[in-house]
Structure 1
Amino acid sequence: MMELACTLARSPRRLCEGVEPELELREGERLVRRPFNHYAPALTDWWIVPSLELPFFRFGKYFFTWDEKKRDTLQCGFGVTKGLDPMLKKVYPSKKGRRLLMEENWGWQGFYPTMMRGELAELLRTAGAGIGHKLELIFEGGYVDDPGLFNPDSELRKRDRYTLLYDPADDSIRVGGAKRDAMCLKFLNKVRDWKSFGEAMMTLNAEAFLWCDLFIANTYRIPAADGETAGEPMRTPAEIHAEWLACFRNYVRC
């Protein structure tokens, strides 16, 4: 198992800014950098999204994050949100409620079928072979009882967080950790291999009232000082894009 590569992009913001020029634009496309917290841009998580539209949770997007207290590693990758079943539009007639309904233009609606065809597994096999260490699939979700009171970005809402670990050494995928506050993602406990992963994703997709964010992440180490990187694997933002983020380019679109 290879050790984590280092990066001198010392914050989510710096890595996001370094990656953005590497992303080739399609005709008529616009990619936008967005901070999670506009009042603390130097420390907060960052996103690259394919639209000026707010809120942007319906889009597939790149994310850049870290532990704000430790600040010793960076995570980046692809994020996509499973919203509420569009069949619930009669239950949630308000403007705020309707925007939570997962219409055909949501990133999940394009990503889910490809995932069920095995494209995500193949993508992780290819990228993982070069990266050489475990990759994370992080699920954060909770049930939505009242869309009028629901804020997808609230840190106070009750939710589960499961981390699945993909190991390219043996092509295995299994639960690496779980925080169960809402008890709504417990079906992920059954993931033992790619077959059971697919079954769990079918369950997730069928949960009409369940809101869930999926983050597919690779981790890079932030050295304590510039001189510490001597002899260690190092990645520039361009190299991080080439070995990892470019894999998800087709999913980052309107």
Structure 2
Amino acid sequence: MNSQKFTAELQKIFGNDLTARPFNRFEPADSIWWLVPSAEWPAFQYSKIFVNPLSGTNKYEVGLYLENGHSSNMLLVEGNKPSNRAQVMDNDWEWAKLSKDKGRLEGVIISMQQAGVSPRVRLEIEPFSPERAAENYDGEKQKIRLTYDYTGTAINLLDKTDTINDPKLRGLIEDVAQQTNVAGVVNSIELFSESEWYWMNLLIYFETDSVNASVGVLTDMLNILGVEEA
């Protein structure tokens, strides 16, 4: 089973309330996929289920995918066109809502552990919009990743990008690397004065090779987040 089929099976179970979208529509079979609680696209503002195939295995990363967009200042730099306006975060974005109610993010992690899976957290940071990153703008794209596991009481850093090319990010990376819960990670981002110029993804997930084993965990996650069809 590839990621496209895995996602399709999940969609059958959850019904038409969730729209399946691939990251790479030209090679969808092995792309990262999202299940979005809306037919709207782009869907940066929504909490999404994601399915990411793990290379060389029959397993997938499955869980919550949350995006933190830019401020309107980016329009002054990259132009006020529709694709850029879609990347400007406002109070309707799920990141903005959940940053004010971080207990729900902690609840997602706890519910995963209680369901018998091993939760992980990953923060991804890019110095460009998704559009620019996809174009490898100026040949300088660097996606920075920090990955944590969860021990039952705290998150613990497992791995991070070693070399940070962007000096503005080094203090932030040092700070978030020391955090012991998701709320602390989000707080660090909120305190980062340059955050409006960086695109960030927060993933809370588990690894699995089974659609059926994923359903209960994802159902609990959606209930905690209050995800409904838009």
- TM-score class, shorter-chain normalisation, is 0.7 to 0.9
Paired residues, number: 218
TM-score w.r.t. the length of structure 2 is 0.79
> Which protein is bigger by CA-based radius of gyration?
1
Larger RCO (CA under 8 A, 6+ residues apart): 1
Percent of matched pairs sharing the same residue: 17
- Alpha-carbon distance in structure 2 between the residues aligned to 1:124 and 1:89: 35
1:1-254 maps to which residues of 2 (within 5 A)? 10-23=1-14, 30-68=17-55, 70-86=56-72, 89-90=75-76, 93-95=79-81, 96-115=83-102, 118-133=103-118, 135-144=119-128, 150-153=131-134, 157-168=141-152, 171-179=153-161, 180-183=163-166, 184=169, 185-186=172-173, 187-193=175-181, 196-197=184-185, 199-203=187-191, 207-221=195-209, 235=210, 237-249=211-223, 250-251=226-227, 254=230
- Do the aligned partners of 1:60 and 1:79 also contact (CA within 8 Å) in 2? yes
RMSD, matched Cα: 2.9
Structure 2's unaligned 5+ residue stretches are none
Structure 1's unaligned 5+ residue stretches are 1-9, 222-234
Secondary structure at the aligned position of 1:42 is classed as helix
Secondary structure at the aligned position of 2:64 is classed as strand
TM-score w.r.t. the length of structure 1 is 0.72
- Cα distance, 1:174–1:50 mapped onto 2, change above 3 Å: same
Q: Which has the higher helix share?
A: 2
Q: CA deviation at 1:141?
A: 0.9
- Alpha-carbon distance in structure 2 between the residues aligned to 1:194 and 1:61: 17
Show the counterpart of 1:7.
none
- Do the aligned partners of 2:109 and 2:204 also contact (CA within 8 Å) in 1? no
- Alpha-carbon distance in structure 2 between the residues aligned to 1:42 and 1:21: 17
- Cα distance, 1:130–1:36 mapped onto 2, change above 3 Å: same
Give CA deviations for 1:39-69 in whole Å, capped at 9, x if unaligned.
Answer: 222222211112333322232211101123x
- Cα distance, 1:51–1:243 mapped onto 2, change above 3 Å: closer
